[in-house]
Structure 1
Amino acid sequence: MSHCTQLRVFDLVSNKIIGSIPHQLSSWLSLTVLHITSNNLSGTIPGWIGNFSSLRSLNLGSNNFQGSIPNELGHITTLKIFAVWENNLSGTLPSSIYNISSIYKFSVAINQVHGELPPNLGILLPNLVVFLCGINKFTGNIPVSLSNASRLQVIDFAFNEFTGTIPGESLGSLRSLIILNFAVNRLGNGKLGDMSFLNFLTNCTSLQELGLSYNRFGGEIPRSIANLSTQLRILYLGDNLLHGSLPNGIGNLINLTDLDMADNYLEGVVPEEIGKLEKMETLDLHANTFFGPIPSSLGNITSLIELFMNENSFEGSIPPSLGNCQNLLLLYLYNNNLTGSIPQKLMELSTLSIGLVLSENNLTGSLPSNVGDLVHLTRLNVSNNKLSGEIPSTIGSCTSLGGLYLDDNKFEGTIPQSLKDLKGLEELDISSNNLSGQIHEFIGKLGALKYLNLSYNDFEGELPKEGIFSNVSGVSVLGNHRLCGGIPQLHLPACPKNKHHSSRGLLSPKVVIPISCSLAFIIALSCFIGARSMLKKSRNALVTSRSYKDWKLGVSYSQLVESTNGFSVDNLIGSGSFGSVYKGVIPSDGTVVAVKVLNLQQRGASKSFNDECKALRSARHRNLLKIITACSSIDNHGRDFKSLVFEFMPNGSLDSWLHPRDEEQSPSKRLNFMQRLNIAIDVASALDYLHNHCETSIVHCDLKPSNVLLDEDMVAHVGDFGLARFLLEASNDHSLSQTMSSQLKGSVGYIPPGMRFHHSNFFFFYYSY
């Protein structure tokens, strides 16, 4: 390595290199580009890198480097890109770094760097375009001098300990600003006028993302918020000390996709003009004191995916127009003063999967019978209302349910037998109702059930002892005075023994005559019962052995476990950033499928699931990997579970053909010229379709050989749309601003969580050079 003294570019991005940076590199004094991003390198950053006097781009991000940033790096006066993001670096930024006035991208995000930024930062680094220091321990004030770096487009100071005010007049002069993120700091004083800086940000006509959540901003939201850039897509003001009403004119921000004003002291009526935000995907107004009706105009926002309006004082009925939001995955309206019945149109939202929570209101009427249409729903909570009638038997069709909460209502009748089909049910609360009848043994056979509350009803008869009924800490039957039996720890009275009467050998004539006269009826009844039993067995066979066609309508967690042999390692096809892919076999017809299981512990995995569903549900092309169905449920350990089921590609990925790992298979995995050309044409056709022929153009954002799959005829199919994004409208402006606007959401590198911790769609783009 020491002989490569004339080498100019050294790029080993995204490998699995371990160890430290070898000292032999210190003689490569001609280097202009040093990129070793996304490896497993450790140790300290060597100071001798500062001797690379011709270096223009230094990117050491996403490794395990420790210690402080060497002061010697400040000697590289030619440096334009300085990126050491996502390491374990500590200490303060060396003052010599600020001497490199040529830097236009500066990234130290996701480290443990502390200290204050110099007040003359913008003067020292006047060429800054991207400045990223989020997720560190910086303190002090936001430098007013940032306005001297007039080309700034991205400023990310999120997740630090900055204090004071935001220099609005200074930042307002940055006309090219696209992203401004100050979330999770200690900014503001909790007083009137804290938000006055918004008056100046109206000059930033290119602003697309503004993050101010989790600070100490007080006062009212200025009316000037309505005059912010119409390019604004993300606006986070949640978890502050704001009060007053939602300003009129909010409907002017027509390109908003995410609006978060949760956990403040906002009040008043939410204006109907909010329905003008037709591109909105996430709207979060929870934990305020809004009152009045829920705007019916929300039904105009058909792109809504998540709607949080819980913990307010909304009144009136639930607008049936919400049933128009055919993309909703989550709807939280709990803890309000809503009245009236639950609209049947809500039950037509078959996309609802994460949760439908309407609890703690004053809703009346019955639970709509078409609740069974919510086949993907994992959580249904209508507790603490005034609902009545019987629990609809159709609820047994909600086979993805993990939590069902119907407590504190006025339901009557018996527990429907159809609940036996809820195999993944983990929590069931039907307490404090007027339910009666016996408690069925099948409840004890629901293997996933961990919590069962049957208290304060009018159940009678013997309590089962198996399954959940054997767990005294997981079951409650208080207030059912006609129950008996059960395990001793429940302290129920013993059930009376059956009385046995001696039977006479002969029947009296009064008995014989009616039986004789009814012989034909008994024969007919026996035939009917036999036929019904056969039909029931036939139906059960269909349920336990669903075909490929049935899977397209929905699949449960237990069925995926069965098809993959318990997600066996032997069935593992491959692993990626957000999960693993298993080979599965549909038992009924032997169809082979690919089951992608998301690792929801990985940041961004849930968002990846939602984005892939969104991208593929409307895209149809012979060269796109075909999705069969999706599953959003609860696994056997009570954890959230999300999975996608695709057509199986027998010849694996293009990567395995271009770079075979197994030497014995290498000769058979050689693509000839025509195969390579055909694959290239297939991929080009897929991209042409995505870019030019979809109803809304889609950018894949992660196209690589491992995401190109080959079927049995070696036809290529583009897959893995977890980072896909819908393209913004075309523009003739090819500036960096436009480049970023189409790439902000798909990237390798620093992608911190959203300003609402339950979101993951506030992204910050790190260029990969």
Structure 2
Amino acid sequence: MFGGTIPESLKSLRGLEELDLSWNNLSGQIPEFFGQFLFLKYLNLSYNKLEGEVPKEGIFANASANISLIGNEKLCGGVPELLLNVCSTKASKKHINKRVVISIIIGVTVATLLVISFVLYYKKKSSRTSSTTSSIESQLCLSYSDILKSTDNFSNENLLGVGSCGSVYKGTLSGDGKIVAIKVLKVQHQRALKSFIDECNALKSIRHRNILKIITVCSSVDYEGNDFKSLVFEFMSNGSLDNWLHPVPNEQPVGIKNLTLMQRLNVAIDVAFAFDYLHHHCETPIVHCDLKPSNVLLDEDMTAHVGDFGLSKFLFESSNNALQSQITSVALRGSFGYIPPEYMDGHVSRLGDIYSYGILLLEMFTGKRPTDEMFKDDLNIHNFVSMAFPNHVMDIVDPSLLFEEENEDDGVEETMMRNFETQRNNKKKMEEFLVLVLRIGLMCSTTSPREARK
């Protein structure tokens, strides 16, 4: 019983594979954006009141595709195989004239509003306007002086972490007091400039709730005339996953406890959503190349955000329209312990990210780093879990999961866990859960890329 035109809001469903809107009262034209859906395999618009020219791109380009338009007598055009009437010149002209009139009306309206806004701006210029402008500029046009001031001269008290290509500081923007994380690149490092450019290229085109949001960048010079480059991100109040999995004694922030079983699962799901977006739903697929706990940040709600795209690579289509593994001649990408074996030969692919994700899962639920000193010779974290799987997983699980403390103020999640723990088969249920999760980790971290990672 749907009526009216097909809504423009469907345009955002770029991953849509099947859509059936048949036997409704839909009217108007078929939206052209349907032809831009790369994954659309089935489209049924039959028996509606649609009219006008049928698009010719995407799923509409192949009449043998799973597409049905019957029962819409006023449709015309499209590819010849659809056997639709040719769109009349008169109708086209009428449609064009209608669009021209609408465009003129919109243009006049916009121009009028612009003139009014221009006059009001100069008549009612106030301190609030100045404050707003200052706030926008403080976020979008930060200078070296702004960065220096916001971090209190890069004080150690504001230092959040140090990496091979730079340091991350906590900063407070002077315009609106917004707290941010500022990544300052070591420009003298031979890879820092390329890392800065690669991260900017990757982050400028991606938007996802589980990917760290960039606010702005600063490319300038310091007071001594040296190059200065930094990236400004949203601040994640709960730090990195690494700090939670491997807390340093006497350095753990007040109030931080061990991650519960459900919290670890939620983080794992958040990271999986982020990589599903990067690999399958970006305009150009992106390979992260450096997934590890220190690059997974947690906000105040413990929602995970993947960050640090300094080693990321775009995957471009080959001549046969298949996304192929990219071969790079640059230095080895990734962090030791999380690098897939095939990267040793210079191959960069989505399967490499899946390998790193598998190692991350094993680390999250065993509490052991892949670089732990116990892993030497032929023993690594994958083999360590594999030898205990599936009958002895409780022997290798992170001990903190077995001793989750009860807290009367922890809310619904902990209440459920307490009720769960009162049952005699608590340990058995936890074991069954861990077997499922660790199986995924083992499948993702196999040494043969195409053996099981898909």
**TM-score by structure 1 length?**
0.26
Q: Which has the higher contact order (CA 8 A, sep 6+)?
A: 2
User: Which protein has the bigger strand share?
Assistant: 1
TM-score when scaled to structure 2? Answer: 0.43
